[in-house]
């Protein structure tokens, strides 16, 4: 079984008399923005929060705001693999840094898939010395027997209920049941891609995003979700990319975790006519999108994630049924939602809980809050500094975005472990990102009384 997870919050440390560095501004602490100072110790942890924190160095951000850096539980950085988009762990994590994300959960459906300990080792080697932010590696269990050894090394598991890039076979029936039992015993977060292939129509029937929605309907998603809702209580289940309000409510009523992506929240199947808007599960109708947004806005979607999955413009220009599914998003998810906050369309606490606090707790990481004992991963945001998404200006080598022209508020600064890695919206960091694993077992993620 996996080794027991122990909290590594540094809350028990004695108050440090003087911080190495103090950030002063309007900080998100205790569920509101207030003029405060955040002290960092020399090891990259928050050691003091108060009205006046003594420190060796001071950085006053004026009336800009200090927010915790985000955690994106769902990205595909395309390594190892042919990566026709040109994306790598190096480029994708710089995009994350620029988009305000300090920790990414990297999915295992690479080529080859991350389904053995040797492949996890190999992927860890690719992160070390090359990643701009921290990376949690998911493993794809090949079978029940592999769970024990993988569970000692992986940061989480990803379970595919439909075939996807790099994953051809999916568990069904008794095989799925025993896999879920085995995963419950390993005690790591388990993200599920829930679509039921038996409910799909042939891909050849789809010629645009609207007919793609018909080919992989919400009913396929609902059927797959129903198969995992009865999973053992102990299973730390998290349903990826939920696309409709009805499915979201069904999962929420069971007290389970799930995520919505920026593209399912902000884009309907009418957003564009070609394969750049082809994604799995598909973009839904404007009515479904608006209903999901209402759930999110009301704080009933636990986690925001990007499902960053870049493809080259050339592969997206293939005939619709042959073009690959997936859109880039790790650099734009938080900025797009910050712009909604700036426009008065989204409460800031809803964004911070879903993008920072809850995903960190699900993954057992001491990040996502500006409080003592957490990593000094902090964003400086100026809500007046609005821009627009431009695909050719994003770090991802794919060079395009499904959100082209949409309003965005990119963080002005990003501090990671007490070191500034983004300044004036430019990446200035070093590739010191680490491979992380859950450090503590979360309590109930929904309704967590400790949530800010
Ligand atoms: Zn994905």
Whole-number Å distance, alpha carbon 305 to ligand 1 midpoint, is 10
- CB of 343 closer than 8 Å to CB of 278: no
- CB of 108 closer than 8 Å to CB of 79: no
Whole-number Å distance, alpha carbon 120 to ligand 1 midpoint, is 18
Reported confidence tier of residue 12, pLDDT bands at 50, 70, 90: very low
How many other C-beta atoms are found inside a 10 Å radius of the C-beta of residue 278? Answer: 26
**Sign of the dihedral through C-alpha 286, 288, 290, 293:** negative
Whole-number Å distance, alpha carbon 260 to ligand 1 midpoint, is 11
Whole-number Å distance, alpha carbon 309 to ligand 1 midpoint, is 7
How many other C-beta atoms are found inside a 10 Å radius of the C-beta of residue 205? Answer: 12
Q: What pLDDT, in 10s, does the model give residues 292-318?
A: 999 999 999 999 999 999 999 999 999
Q: What is the pLDDT of residue 3?
A: 40
Reported confidence tier of residue 442, pLDDT bands at 50, 70, 90: low
Whole-number Å distance, alpha carbon 18 to ligand 1 midpoint, is 43
Tell me which range, 171-185, 399-413, 433-447, is most confidently predicted by mean pLDDT: 399-413
Reported confidence tier of residue 5, pLDDT bands at 50, 70, 90: very low
Question: Residues within 5 Å of ion ligand 1 by Cβ?
Answer: 307
Residue 267 has pLDDT above 80, yes or no: yes
Whole-number Å distance, alpha carbon 440 to ligand 1 midpoint, is 25
Residue 380 β-bridge partners? 66, 413
**Cis peptide upstream of residue 385 (ω within 30 degrees of 0):** no
Write out the two tokens for 401: 């975005």
Whole-number Å distance, alpha carbon 8 to ligand 1 midpoint, is 29
- CB of 297 closer than 8 Å to CB of 350: yes
Residue 300 CB burial class (10 angstroms; 0-12, 13-18, ≥19): middle
Residue 449 has pLDDT above 80, yes or no: no
- What is the DSSP secondary-structure string of 173-188? HHHHHHHHHHHHHHTS
Write out the two tokens for 346: 């989204």
Rounded Cα gap, residues 163 and 171, in angstroms? 10
Whole-number Å distance, alpha carbon 210 to ligand 1 midpoint, is 20
Q: What pLDDT, in 10s, does the model give residues 146-188?
A: 999 999 999 999 999 988 877 777 888 888 889 999 999 998 9
- CB of 228 closer than 8 Å to CB of 190: no
Which parts of 17-79 fold into alpha helices (H)?
A: none
Determine which helix (DSSP H) or strand (DSSP E) holds 136, and give its type and residue range: strand 134-139
Over residues 333-345, the mean pLDDT reads: 98
DSSP 356: I
**Sign of the dihedral through C-alpha 270, 296, 329, 319:** negative
**Strand, helix or coil for residue 344:** coil
Reported confidence tier of residue 2, pLDDT bands at 50, 70, 90: very low
Q: What pLDDT, in 10s, does the model give residues 58-117?
A: 999 999 999 999 999 999 999 999 889 999 999 999 999 999 999 999 999 999 999 999
Rounded Cα gap, residues 337 and 344, in angstroms? 11
Exposed e or buried b per residue across 420-442, where buried means at least 16 C-beta atoms within 10 angstroms of its C-beta: bbbeeeeeebebbbebbbbebeb
Q: What is the pLDDT of residue 448?
A: 41
Question: Checking phi first, is residue 86 left (phi over 0); if not, alpha (psi -120 to 50) or beta?
Answer: left
Instruction: Give the predicted TM-score (pTM) of the model.
Output: 0.94
Percent of the chain with pLDDT over 90: 86
Tell me which residues are annotated as active site: 307
Residue 11 has pLDDT above 70, yes or no: no
Rounded Cα gap, residues 21 and 46, in angstroms? 10
What Å distances lie between residue 400 and 49, 54, 249, 314, CA to CA? 40, 45, 33, 11
Whole-number Å distance, alpha carbon 269 to ligand 1 midpoint, is 18
Paired sense of beta strands 378-381 and 413-416, if any: antiparallel
Whole-number Å distance, alpha carbon 83 to ligand 1 midpoint, is 15
């Amino acid at each position: 079984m996996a080794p027991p997870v122990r909290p590594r919050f540094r809350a028990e440390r004695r108050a440090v008399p003087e911080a190495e560095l103090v950030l002063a501004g309007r900080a998100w602490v205790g569920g509101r923005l207030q003029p405060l100072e955040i002290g960092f110790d020399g090891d990259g942890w928050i050691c003091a929060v108060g009205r006046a924190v003594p420190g060796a160095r001071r950085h006053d951000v004026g009336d800009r705001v200090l927010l915790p850096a985000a955690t994106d539980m769902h990205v595909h950085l395309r390594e190892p693999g042919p990566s026709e988009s040109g994306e790598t762990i190096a480029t994708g994590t710089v995009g994350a840094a620029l988009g305000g994300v300090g920790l990414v959960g990297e999915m295992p459906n690479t080529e080859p898939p991350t389904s053995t300990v040797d492949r996890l080792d190999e992927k860890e080697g690719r992160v070390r010395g090359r990643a701009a932010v921290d990376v949690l590696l998911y493993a794809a269990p090949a079978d029940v027997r592999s769970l024990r050894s993988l569970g000692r090394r992986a940061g989480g598991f990803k379970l595919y209920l439909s075939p996807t890039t790099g994953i051809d076979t999916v568990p069904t029936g008794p095989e799925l049941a025993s896999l879920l039992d085995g995963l419950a015993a390993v005690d790591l977060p388990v993200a599920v891609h829930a679509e039921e292939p038996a409910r799909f129509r042939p891909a050849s029937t789809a010629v645009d995003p609207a007919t793609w929605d018909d080919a992989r309907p919400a009913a396929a998603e609902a059927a797959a979700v129903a198969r995992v809702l009865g999973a053992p209580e102990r299973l730390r289940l998290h349903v990826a990319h939920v696309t409709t309000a009805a499915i979201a409510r069904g999962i929420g009523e069971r007290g389970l975790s799930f995520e919505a992506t920026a593209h399912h929240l902000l884009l309907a199947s009418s957003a564009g006519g070609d394969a750049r808007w082809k994604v799995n599960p598909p973009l839904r109708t404007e009515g479904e999108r608006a209903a999901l947004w209402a759930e999110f806005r009301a704080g009933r979607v636990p986690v925001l994630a990007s499902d960053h999955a870049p493809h080259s413009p050339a592969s997206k220009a293939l005939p619709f049924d042959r073009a690959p599914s997936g859109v880039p998003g790790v650099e734009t998810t938080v900025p797009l939602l910050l712009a909604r906050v700036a426009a008065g369309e989204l409460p800031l606490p809803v964004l911070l809980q879903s993008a920072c606090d809850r995903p960190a707790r699900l993954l057992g990481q001491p990040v996502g809050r500006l409080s003592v004992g957490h990593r000094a991963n902090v964003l400086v945001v100026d809500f007046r500094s609005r821009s627009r998404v431009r695909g050719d200006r994003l770090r991802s080598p794919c060079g395009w975005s499904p959100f082209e022209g949409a309003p965005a508020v990119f963080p002005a600064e990003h501090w990671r472990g007490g070191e500034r890695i983004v300044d004036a919206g430019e990446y200035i960091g070093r590739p010191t990102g680490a491979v992380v694993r859950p450090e503590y077992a979360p309590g109930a993620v929904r309704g967590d009384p400790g949530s800010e």
